Structures are given as structure tokens and as C-alpha cells.
Structure 1
Amino acid sequence: MKRVVITGAGTINSLGQNVPDTLEAMREGRCGISELEFRDVDRLAIKIGGQVKGYDPEAVFNRQQLVLYDRFTQFTLLAAREAMAQSGIVFAGDLAVKSGVVLGNSGGGLTTQDENYRAVYEEGKNRVHPFVVPKLMNNAAASHLSMEFNVKGPSFTVATACASSNHAMGQAFHMVRSGMCTAMITGGSESMLCFGGVKAWEGLRVMSKDACRPFSATRNGMVQGEGAGIFIFEEYEHAKARGAEILAEVIGFAMSSDASDIVMPSKQGAARAIAGALKDAGVKPSEVGYINAHGTGTAANDKTECAAVADVFGRHADKLMISSTKSMHGHLIGGTGAVELLACVMALRDGVIAPTINYEEPDPECALDVVPNEAREANVDVVLSNAFAFGGLNAVLALRKL
């Protein structure tokens, strides 16, 4: 089995349009959630989200590219360019053939769908652009990454709702660890912040109208976000031989299915994934210092996740730090685990634990150290990143300082 390390990271989200700005915002406990700005927002009951503001696609992509790139693909390409630049890896020759792309995404080109449904059903048009299908398909971003960076190995997209990115990064980890691939571009993206995307989520009645308050007794729902997080996962010896900077080591991954309910989370399912990641990583519960929680800010998720952590860690649970950065950047759905992995890397490299902001009042059912409101300096060697999705699909990654 090969060792797997992270040699590059990139992002764009409501906290920042690159990794340094995003981490600075996390350290400062800054909130990227604000009033939504798009057509017909006044018809929505939910008017807030972690929207990427101050972004001009035409300043980055030409007209021919924008015909093919939905907003989620644009975000993916921008984040990937940052990750590739930091990694310094070049996909050519045998390395190109032995490398791939695995991305997580849930909604695909939802903005493109929304615009074209409006054109056909509301405006009465009988034709749409011939590139609508390749623009909105879920695998569009993965395909464009493979083309832009000459990646010729296994490339595909994973769609498991809110666990998509963690599932994708887990598959990339397995491919490198097994020796199937030398390096992978992995992570995820999402852009559901359009009229139809928010209207659909409104129907679930799990959305907050004012703020995301994970683990707080006053929490009243989740808040959507958008953006992308992209990483280069690379075989350790290959990275070392070319002198690459190593951000962290990926040491374990596990998945589970609740097999119980399409929307209500299960403590047992979450606990199996957490325990499985520890077993796969070969670490004891006492070695874990921080967990980046799924922590959506809904009543059901937060108490279920805390119960699962308490079950797995037992007496060590009181010594754990667990925070939800969704309180700052919102819930990126299929892209959320990728952006949240940045907080895990920051904890290992910089010794800074991102806070759970908007925390107002303790909840007896969430009686863990949730790092309320302010970032904390701490020396941690092993961290976990949790993702628990609608459909009862769970994915947990384990990382170690190197």
C-alpha cells in the first residue's frame, strides 16, 4: 500500500477566492453568508446564502469557454489552477496516463438548467443552445479538468448529495494508495444559488432565514453556499522525489449507509463511518485532536452527529475539538467536504482550529467542545472530516500531520 499526501490546494467560496484568503477568514471567524443577489430573489422566502461575491466570469474566461462552463465548472477550474500551481506537478507522459480526476458534485449545472427552463417554459422559446447538455452534466467539471491539465487516467464524478466531495476524495485516496494512480486531482464543487436551486431547498423546510448556528440551542436550519475546493493527492515517494511541499498526509477513509431514512440522519450509520475511518487509518480515538463536523445547523443533524462522535470516542470525546465551518461559508452541498478539508489542513499545518461562529447557547444534546465563535491555537496530529448526506450516505476522511 502506498502513502498518500496532499501537495496542492485551491478554492473559491464565499470566504475567499483563494486558499490564503479563505484560511484568514476562518482564523478570524468571519461570516461569508449575506443577502443573495440574483434574478427573482424577492420571490423566495430564503434570501441569504454563502454566495461568491465580486466574481466576474468574463474577466477569467473567454466567450467560447463561457458557452461551455456552468458556474460550478468555472469554480472548479479556478480552484484547480490554484492547486496545480502550488503543487507544481505537470501531467505528461506516463504520469498523465497514471493520474486521474475524481470530483464530487450534486446538482451539476443547476444555473444552466434554471436559465433554460425559464427560457422554454416562461418565455416560450422553442430552442436552446446546442451545448446545454455538455454544460449542465454533472461530469462537466471533471472532464474539463482532465482536458486542461492533460490527465488521461480514470476520471469521473461522484454524486452523493452532501457527501459527494468526501466520497470523491476517498476514491482518489484509494486509487493512489492501491498503486492504480500516481496522482489525482480531487475535491468538489457546487453552485445551486439560483432561483430554482433555492426554491427547491425551501420545500424541505430545513433552511434558516437569518444565520447558520451549528450546535447552538438556538439553531434553526442550514444555509446554502457555493464554490469549490480542489486538491492534488499524490503518492508520497513521487512527491518527495520531485521536492514537492507536502500539506498533509491522507491516512484513512470509510463509508457507510444508514439504510433507514431518505432525509433523517442515523447515529449508528455516522458512527460506523467515523469508526471505520479510524480503523482504516490505524489510529486510536485518543490520537485524534480535531474533527471538522458536518454540522449543518439543523436540529436533527447536529445532535445526531454529536451522539455518534460520543459513541465512537467514549471518554476521549471530552478532549476533542469539533467545529463546523458551515457557520461561515454555508453548506456547499456536493462541494462542502472539499472546502471544509481546508480547515483540516490548517489545523495540522498551522495549529489553528477554525471556530463554529454564531454560537449563542449551549445545547445539552451537543455537549462537546465545538470551538465556539473564536479560532483556537492547538497542536494536533490527526484530524477527521465528516460528511453525512441525504439518502443516509456517510463518508469520513482521516488526515495526519507530516
Structure 2
Amino acid sequence: MEDISSPYYLHPSDNPSLQLVPHVLTGSNYINWSRSVNTALLAKNKIAFVNGVLHRPHDDDLLFPAWLRCNSMVVSWLRNSISPQICSSIMYLEDAHEIWSDLRIRFSQLDSARAYQLKQRIMSLNQGNDDVNAYFTNLRIVWDEFKHSQPIAWCICANCRCNSASKWHEYQEQECTMQFLIGLNPVFSQIRSNILSMVPFPPLSKVFSLVLQEERQRTIDGYSPVISPSMSEQPYSANAATSQSYNKGRLCSHCGKSNHTVDKCFTLHGFPPGYGKGKNKFGVGAKETKSVNFVEDCIEDSCDKSAFSPPMRMPSQEQCQQLINMLQSQLAVAATFVPPTPTSAAPNMPSSPHNVPFTGSFSGNCDWEG
């Protein structure tokens, strides 16, 4: 009775109102609840009263009063750890082993529907917006419940020497590790490839430690680098401002208008062919519209384009033949023509610069307004 290693020993702090685990049994949490209660009974050295090792002695046995007292204490602990609705169904069971067996038969059987739910939840579980620690915890909760429903080993030997239980446990841990790697976010693809290339394959705890370390390295700076846009992605307004600043301050001395000089004045030298057609860029009251299409608008509105010259087309074969015939006929007439003797050599000079036709090369740069 006074031996503290004996299952019949009761500590002064043991009382019938004690609740072994913080969460009571509700039915669906039987697996977690049973493991918690099993651990608490092992700590109090009373597991023999629920697993059937310590049977009820005869009434005339000297240990019967001690067994009855300890059994009643364990029964009280179990009732305090069960929800009131379930507790009412075992109220008339007085043996701790009978209560434990009845609860195991009712709630530990995993049907096909529950197995399907667990398997479906495992396959659809991924990291998402959670961190690595939260994702790992959620996966372990579901996986442990699913693994507990599986057989411990497939060995049918009377005295097992093939160590199948440890092999089965190693296989289940490897499957959980694979599922953990599958559900990680794509940002961990590099560390995932490194883990899969390791030989031998690391255990689940080592894989979790490597992924957690990678997550900490990614968040150690606390900011993401900002990539500056390239020159081709700069807004059109920058190019337009440069063009306006280039034309600003230039004044024509002939017509008195801005944005061009006298050497490019259309009023003095004549208008180029195709002027005023197409886009109404030089029309009076035309509104200049700019969009934020960075590349195309910049090319279309550039001052270096030659939009005033019409597109050149190659002459056809018939036109070439007609031109050759006309030139040959003119050469034949010129060969028989005798020019008269000149009587005076009057200079053929223009009387006014306004009568000079528009000659010379036109660069295509148009910056004249009006």
C-alpha cells in the first residue's frame, strides 16, 4: 500500500473530482482524447486498470479493497473527462476496463466515410496564405488521425522478428514528408528540389527544419526589391517634354510665328507635298492627344519621322516602255533641230525671291505651326 511504484498507491493529491485532460470526449475527437488520457494514466501509474492487465480480484482477496478504491478513482477520472451526454450512457458501468473498452468500440472504429474525408482533406491541404509552421501543424493533425486508423503492421508472425512495425512507421513518415513538400508554395521550389535529391531521404523533422530555415532567410530583410522600369517603358510625356523644350524659343523672322526658323518657313519656301492630309496635326484648333501607350505613340509622334513625303511606287513595265519610246523620239527630233543665232544675252535672273519655286531637299522635320 505504501509502495509508490505499486498501481494501488494513491497520492494525497488524487481525488475523484480530478479531470485528467483539458478537452472532454465528444465522439469525433476520440483518437486525440484516448491518447491524452492514456498518457495521464501512465503518469499516475493507473494504466493497468483500463487496459485489462490488472483484473478484478475475488471478494475474499486481501487486495480487493485496494483494487476497489483505485478502480473507483479511475472511473471518476474517466467520467470527468467525458461530455455529459456520453457520460450518461456509461453511468452504470463500474469497472474502468469495461468503460474504456466500451468507448473504444463505439468511437475508435473508422468507417469508410471518415477515411474518405481524411484522405480528401490530406490531398487538398496546401500552404496557401499560412506560414510553414501553421501549414505543418494542420497537416500533422489530419495525418496522425489517418495514420492511427491504419494497421500498425502487416506481420502475422507469432513472435515477430522482421521488424515490420518500425518499417511501417518509417513508410508512413515518408509519405507524410512527401505530402508536406507537395503542399508547399511555389516559392520553395528550390529547397524542395534540394530535399528530393538527398540520399538517403531525410526524416520529416529534418525536412521541416530546412523549409523553416528557408522561410526565415526570405523574410530576414523585410522588404522586396523594387525593379525600376526600363527606358522603353518610360511614359511618353518625358519624350514630349524634351521635344517641346527643343522647339521652345525659336521664332521665324519672316512670318513671325514660333517653333520654326526662317530657313524652314513654309510660307517662304512653299508647302511640301501631302501637307494637310491624313492626321490634322497642323490644322487650326487641332487638339493634340497623347496616350500612355509608351512605345507606339512615341514612335508615331516622334519629330524624326518623314510623314510628309508620299509613299513611292515602282513604275510598271508598260510605263517604262512608254518612257523609253518618248525619250527616243525626243532624241531623234533634237538631232535634226538647228538652234538660231542668239542676238542678246539677257540674264535669266528671278526678279523677286517669291517667284523662286520650292527646290532643294526636304528633310521631313516639320515644326511649323499655323
User: Shorter chain as normaliser: what TM range?
Assistant: under 0.3
TM-score by length of 1: 0.18
More helix by share: 2
Structure with bigger RCO (C-alpha 8 Å, 6+ apart): 1
- Higher gyration radius (CA): 2
TM-score, normalised relative to structure 2: 0.19
